[in-house]
Amino acid sequence: MAEESQLIDEIVDRYEGEVGMLIPMMQDLQAEIGYLPVDHLRYMGKKLEVPMSHLYAVATFYSSFRLAPKGAHEVTLCLGTVCYLKGAGEISQAICREFQVAPGGTTPDRMFSYNPVNCVGACALAPVMVVDGKYHGQVTMESALEILHGLSLEEQTKEATTAE
Amino acid sequence: MISTDAKFTSPNDIAAFARQLRNKSKAIPKVVRVCIGTGCAAKDSRKLYELFQEAARKSSRDVRVETKNVGCHGFCERGPIVVIDPGEIFYQQVEEPDVAEIFRETILGGRILERLLFEDPLTGKKATKAAEIPFYNVQKRVVLSANGLIDPTQITDYLAAGGYSALAKVISSMSPEQVIEQVEESHLRGRGGGGFPTGRKWRSCREASGNGKYIICNGDEGDPGAFMDRSIMEGNPHSVIEGMIIGAYAVGAEQGYIYVRNEYPLAVRHLTGAIAQTRKRGLLGKNILGSNFSFDIRINRGGGAFVCGESSALIASLEGKPGEPRAKYVHMVESGLHGKPTVLNNVETWTNVPKIINNGGKWFADIGTEKSKGTKVFSLVGKVVNTGLVEVPMGISLRRIVEEIGGGVKDDKKFKAVQTGGPSGGCIPAEHLDARVDFDELTKLGSMMGSGGMIVMDEDTCMVQVARYFTEFLQKESCGKCTPCREGLAQMLHILTRITKGEGQADDLDKLKALAELLEGTALCALGKTAANPILSTIRYFQAEYEAHIQQRRCPAKECKGLFRYKIDEEACKACGICLKNCPVDAIVGEKKVPHKIIQEKCTLCGTCWDKCPFSAVLKV
């Protein structure tokens, strides 16, 4: 409990305890831990005097929040119109099949979390897959699977271009 | 002399400091500009920037070279892009091994490397400058004028290019009333999709009673296939901030918010840096430029919900709630964020403001058509030769955008439609390509301006699938608050899916139209009200294609699996056996040197042979 309270206190103070800043607070929490653990949310709710049901509503409304731990890597596939026209839908199906992962879920071996998103706004590169912040353009079913097979549990491939 | 990081305490400081900066930059004869927008950065342009920096450092010659990383040039198709001054030499598709040569030949030697120049695919003519490339010379760059020129992480670059001079003008010589008059005279209309007159919005907010008013910048660019706002926020963040400060001055707001999509990390980084620099300079915060006007800006990142681009949903999100819209019988300008009068404008709208102040409302109103003024930025994408970000004067024809700027349809395919207005927009067919880009004209055609996505589709695109794709998108993104949108979209998606599977029923089109009408009339917010546009516009222009699916169980574009067959072209077949080996149901027969054949009765239409054939001998018929 002490750990949770310390982290949450710090995050809430960052926004001067303003309830309107709930979403940035939850984003900070997720950036810190990788997901939104229920104990942390409960403590945050108490501190802000906001019911747990409200936190849950927010956490489940926005697609970027997750309530379960994520994998070692973060894989985002763009399913925007252009990527879709250029075959991203089929690539997505192939990834789900090959790695037994559902959209928004994590592979059984916790290798990566898979998030298809609406558009990353890099249409000149379509179809686009983003792995740990690195943009892979013009991916095909084969090249996408090859990139994902090349991931390993230890190594993170964070790129300077998009790391926050 | 004003020291390089001093706080400005009077409007006059801005012009003096900009002069100082320009004199200093005259002393640096050579400049290399490397694009680090998301498109070029994905092709490792940051590495190029580092290599140029290293080369400049190591160079023993007595030449001062400045390397800059700059925002998006727009020609993402040809990235990474490197521009060298003097001469504005425009190199495209630059790779790491090219750096040393560019440095030696062009920067030090002043010689042009022909192979890195853009070559016109039609005439074979090489272009040295951007202005000589058709992609650029049809455009009119107002909003994007500094993109690609300035380093978005340095406020000094923006200042040297005349940045914050509009703010200085406003604070030193204009009353809030005069600012609003200029914006009204410009006839600027909201660039986020609604097209509401900006000046009128500002005036209502100024006149609304109550204090603690808010200014919001909507950077939740959720339309798939659109990246205008991303490129502006990444490439020229100060232009957005300057517009907002002027807006706050005009309506009397003290606090502003920029709501940026979660998927745009670079935009968040550049905006955060820009706000910090602006505060340090005394352009944000208490007593801006020594006046008694105070204003500050905070950045909020979105949570990944499309509906939050809708103004009332965005405000709910800023209040820490799920992003559900509300009915708008009470206007934002009277009761918006936390119940206070609020002005919400899109990124591109804010960016236009400093230009209007500097050049006057009349200058802006002289560009464009009768009711749509100024320029509009579009992201031109899809099956088009030149993908990228383009800015054109209102009133230009769609044909010029697609054919002259975009270079026509890719791979010599036939043009089928251009989709504008985002997921709730519509598809405009070839016979209306001469229509002009104008808020009202696009609406008349069953589409809309939207925020500026422009997706080109070729003959291989099935319009029923397009309608299904957008309906699925909107159904997933519907917040679920009102029944017509939540249930209506689900039903329409169900019908469209049925049609693409060849299970369409005779009255499906009537059902779709009835549902669409209901949705338009009864949904709570703009997302729901316009959600049927993709279906209605495709039925309007491509009814025959729907009918082929429903009546003949055939997909004319050969995209819907199961609604066309595969056949092997005997002349093209080299009898290599690859399709035969890969067919999962042994439906292909053939021997060495004998063209292969598909046994249609056995074929499950999976498409494996089509994917695998190295000679494109498998045809869709």
Could you tell me the residue ranges of all domains in chain B?
A: 23-133, 162-365, 375-458, 463-551, 566-620
In the stretch 211-250 of chain B, residues with CB closer than 8 A to chain A read 221-227, 230
Q: Which of B43-52, B147-156, B163-172, B379-388 has the highest mean pLDDT?
A: B163-172
Architecture of domain B463-551: Up-down Bundle (1.20)
Best probe of the B interface among A55, A118, A143, A157, by most B CBs < 10 A, is: A118
Tell me, yes or no, if B258 comes closer than 8 A to chain A by beta carbon.
no
pLDDT at B519 over 90: yes
Tell me, yes or no, if A140 comes closer than 8 A to chain B by beta carbon.
no
pLDDT at B44 over 90: no
pLDDT given at position B24: 84
In the stretch 267-326 of chain B, residues with CB closer than 8 A to chain A read 268-269, 300-306, 317-323
Tell me, yes or no, if A122 comes closer than 8 A to chain B by beta carbon.
yes
User: Is A28 contained in some domain?
Assistant: yes
CB contact under 8 A, A79 and B224: yes
Q: What is the pLDDT of residues B250-286, one digit of tens each?
A: 999 999 999 999 888 899 999 999 999 999 999 999 9
Measured between beta carbons, the chain B residues lying within 8 angstroms of A133 are: 265
CB contact under 8 A, A81 and B453: yes
CB contact under 8 A, B457 and A85: yes
Beta strands in B71-202 (DSSP E): 82-85, 89-91, 118-119, 126-127
> Same domain for A22 and A77?
no
pLDDT at A159 over 70: no
ipTM given for this complex? 0.81
Domain stops at, among A15, A41, A61: A61
* Average confidence score pLDDT of chain A: 87
pLDDT given at position B299: 94
Residues A78-87: what's their mean pLDDT? Answer: 87
Among residues B518, B527, B481, B486, the alpha carbon closest in space to that of B194 is found at B527
CATH of domain B162-365: 3.40.50.11540
pLDDT at A37 over 90: yes
CB contact under 8 A, B302 and A58: no
Which pair of tokens denotes residue B500? 């693409």
User: Is A79 contained in some domain?
Assistant: yes
Q: How far apart are CA B427 and CA B551, in angstroms?
A: 23
> Same domain for A102 and A53?
no
C-alpha distances (whole Å) from A3 to each of A8, A50, B143 are 9, 21, 48
- Residue predicted with more confidence, A124 or A161: A124
CATH code, domain with A91: 3.40.30.10
User: Is A155 contained in some domain?
Assistant: no
pLDDT given at position B508: 96
Domain stops at, among A61, A91, A112: A61
| B63 pLDDT tier (thresholds 50, 70, 90) | confident
Best probe of the B interface among A19, A47, A78, A81, by most B CBs < 10 A, is: A81
User: Is A127 contained in some domain?
Assistant: yes
Residues B499-515: what's their mean pLDDT? Answer: 95
CATH of domain B566-620: 3.30.70.20
Residue in chain A lying closest to B384 (CA):
A124
Fold of B375-458: Ubiquitin-like (UB roll) (3.10.20)
> Same domain for A33 and A91?
no
Range of the domain at A109: 73-149
From the CA of A62, how many Å to the nearest CA of chain B? Answer: 5
Q: How far apart are CA B522 and CA B527, in angstroms?
A: 12
Residues A69-79: what's their mean pLDDT? Answer: 90
pLDDT given at position A157: 47
One-letter identity of residue A64: S
> Same domain for A80 and A140?
yes
> Same domain for A49 and A86?
no
> Same domain for A49 and A88?
no
* Average confidence score pLDDT of chain B: 92
User: Is A86 contained in some domain?
Assistant: yes
Fold of B23-133: Glutaredoxin (3.40.30)
Q: How far apart are CA B617 and CA B568, in angstroms?
A: 6
Residue B320: which of A19, A79, A82 has the nearest Cβ? A19
pLDDT given at position B2: 62
> Same domain for A81 and A138?
yes
Measured between beta carbons, the chain A residues lying within 8 angstroms of B306 are: 118
| B351 pLDDT tier (thresholds 50, 70, 90) | very high
Q: Tell me if B453 sits within 8 A of B473, measured CB to CB.
A: no
User: Is A119 contained in some domain?
Assistant: yes
pLDDT given at position B230: 92
Please give the tally of structural domains in chain A.
Answer: 2
Query: Which pTM was predicted?
Result: 0.89
CB contact under 8 A, B301 and A24: yes
> Same domain for A79 and A123?
yes
How crowded is residue B599: how many other Cβ atoms within 10 Å of its Cβ? 12
In the stretch 432-471 of chain B, residues with CB closer than 8 A to chain A read 453, 455, 457, 461, 469-470
